[in-house]
Structure formats: C-alpha cells, structure tokens
Chain A
C-alpha cells in the first residue's frame, strides 16, 4: 500500500480508496483537490501559473486552466463524475510584499482557478487562499478530508 503520494510543482496525482495525497509548501502556487465520495476517488493538482497560452500541451499541469481540464479528464478515466466532485483549494499567497507582476502572481492564480472551476461547473466548498504565508496541503483519500498546514499556525481542515 502506498501511504503518502507526493505531488511536485506542476503535477497531478490520483488515488483511490486509501492513502494520502500531499503537496508541500504552496507559495503563490495553488493546490486544487477534487474528491468523488461515491467511489472514494481523490486527485490533487499543483499549478504554478494562471493561463497556459500556447504552452498547455507540453506541461498542462503547470497552468490553472489546462491543469484543471486535464485533471477532470484523467479522473473521469478512473470513473470520477464531475457533478459529484467536492473541490477545495489552497495557496495563492503573496510571499513578498512587492509591487508588479512578482507581487500579484498569487492573486492572478486564484482568479484563474475560480474562473476555470466555474466554467467546469464545479463549486469550491472550502478554501484557504491569499495572505502572505506558504501552505502544505494534504488529502486523506479514504475520507476526503483536506487539511492545510502552515508555519506557526494550527493545522486547519477545509
């Protein structure tokens, strides 16, 4: 049994029935979990940038728009049904208080994730986004519980 499956930057993994999906230290990046409670199917996506432009084909999971679409497609192959998905998101922080594109990448990521999820008719049921700190996001696939760990704060359940 694989206990813990780690998701790197610009990647996505799916687990069924049991195990934990984890992605470490989301800064301006965003972690997106989808969970189908009927078949206990969970997926965790770690995106880095808002829009793919013409680069989506090579590395779809790097971007919010192509990443979410590809995640839904992959999870459907495992039997997931879009209208059953419970969706949670975390991340999109502003790590450095600076102006310009470096400062607002987190914000743009959040906007793009919301837009794409709305387009796919998926409602976000829990979130911990923005602010100025990094987050580690975990999902227990046996229950669908999503937890967020941060530095110097208590772990929260989304």
Chain B
C-alpha cells in the first residue's frame, strides 16, 4: 500500500484515496463554441502513458479534496502531488535518482 502526499493533509495511506482520471483536462469554458472534434477529445481521449503521468486523485476518505499528482506508471511511485489549479511541477526537478 502506497503512501500518498495529500497537498492539504500530508502523507496518508493509499486506501484513503480514489483515482480520478487524467489531470489537466480542462472543461472548455464555453462548450457550445467547441467543434465536435474538440468536444470528443475532451470527453473521451486520454493518454495511456508509460512513464510519468499527470493524474487526479481525491482524498475521498480524508479532506475530500481533488488534487493532482505526477506518478511514474512503470514504478507506481508518486513523484509529486500539487493542488488543483497549480501548474504541473517541472518533472526533472522531482524525478527520483
């Protein structure tokens, strides 16, 4: 069981969290102006990353906040977590040796 750093509560065990899909997929501010292709991409297209993946997690059995995380899908290691709305950390800066 992994430990996950909730940006609001600190280190907590994995079983307090729920995965919530890829991060930084912003809902268009005015969906009515999007083309069908843009809208379909927003709705359905997600990355299938081998390596560092930006994704959303929710501390659902804690503060219930959504936040973002960088996780290496090959090692399952969390490299960084940060609050929703904050920019994605530079990956080199947090990459493990």
Q: Do A and B come from one complex?
A: no
Q: Which residues of A contact B (CB under 8 A)?
A: none
